[in-house]
Amino acid sequence: MPSAAKMSLRGLRTFCVAARYESFRTAGEELFITASAVSHQIKSLEEELGEQLFDRTSRELSLTETGKSLYEDANPLIEQLDSVVAKYKTGAVSSSIRISVQPFFASEYFVPRLTEFTASHPEIDIQVGASDETAEKHPSDADLSIRLFRSPPADMPSNLLFPLRMIPGGSPAFKESLTVKKKKIVSEFPIIVHETHPKAWKKWSKAAGIELPENPKVTRLDSMIAVVRAAERGLGAALIPVPIGNLWFKQGSIVRLFKQQYVADVSYYLVCKEDRVEDESVVLLRDWIVENFAESG
């Protein structure tokens, strides 16, 4: 393993961002570089270390055990180093906000639009953490969070953004093979299930009035990004959150299989840490998020 003096700090920082999202594309958006540049930097880091950090053999990008260990050790150091450098940087930011956002919401909906806010408020340092806890809980290390709740937390200021709505989606080829007769799917209909919402397909079927085939083939995955990618590759039908996943529909890599949506009993809320609710920078970010992401009425 190379000495710390020779190791690429830029590559290590890029690795930490890519590891956080397990996506080169999302890391590139946050770092304002291309996905291929992210891949190249991480490949160079892997060559320096003599270790593979990402598993590229599966359909989705995932960390190896070495990658997980490196991220746990390196990420706190990178954040600490950035904080130190910021103190001595000319025109250093005057405020820092840490916001925790669930991964799919972050990569597909929040981060791509965050540049609108940072361009208007360069003095505010935004640290986005993506975590996929299923518990209805605001992370203790975050100033703000965007998470799913059945009802808003009683002890913390919050803003309702919108309910979780899901619509069946699949590849264009999958839709061509779909056959429905008398509100019953009679063609093969393998389904992809997000483990956080194991009963969502049954609830969609009941709400839509469309009967699913008996005992369909089921693929279970533990992240929404993996679910959508699997649908894109034709493995089956997936329930895609809207409007969060609208970019996939606009690109045409996934198409709507039915018009009917399933509205879950949970909603996305913006939650604020009590001791920062009156912080001017936090107020600015909260107002921007509500204006850009909350549905009216």
* Residue ranges covered by each domain of the chain: 1-90, 163-264
Q: What is the pLDDT along the chain (297 residues), one digit of tens a residue?
A: 444 445 568 888 899 988 888 888 888 777 777 888 888 889 989 888 889 999 887 667 889 999 999 998 888 888 888 777 666 655 544 578 999 998 889 888 998 899 899 888 888 889 888 776 556 788 878 899 999 999 888 889 999 999 999 999 999 999 999 999 999 999 999 999 998 889 999 999 999 999 999 999 999 998 888 999 999 999 999 999 999 999 899 989 999 999 999 999 999 999 998 888 888 899 999 999 999 999 875
Angle 162-245-129 (CA atoms, 0-180°, nearest 5)?
75
Q: Which two tokens stand for residue 297?
A: 């009425």
Domains 1-90 and 163-264 share a fold: no
The answer to whether 152 and 175 have CB atoms below 8 angstroms apart is no
Residue 243: asked if its preceding bond is cis (omega within 30°), the reply is yes
Between β-strands 184-185 and 180-181, what pairing exists: parallel, antiparallel or unpaired?
antiparallel
Q: Considering the domain 163-264 in this protein, what is its CATH number? A: 3.40.190.10
Q: Which two tokens stand for residue 90?
A: 């000319």
Tell which CATH architecture fits domain 1-90. Orthogonal Bundle (1.10)
User: How many whole angstroms from its chain centre is CA 62?
Assistant: 14
Instruction: List the one residue out of 5, 29, 8 whose CA is nearest residue 18.
Output: 29
58 class by beta-carbon count within 10 Å (0-12 exposed, 13-18 middle, 19+ buried): exposed
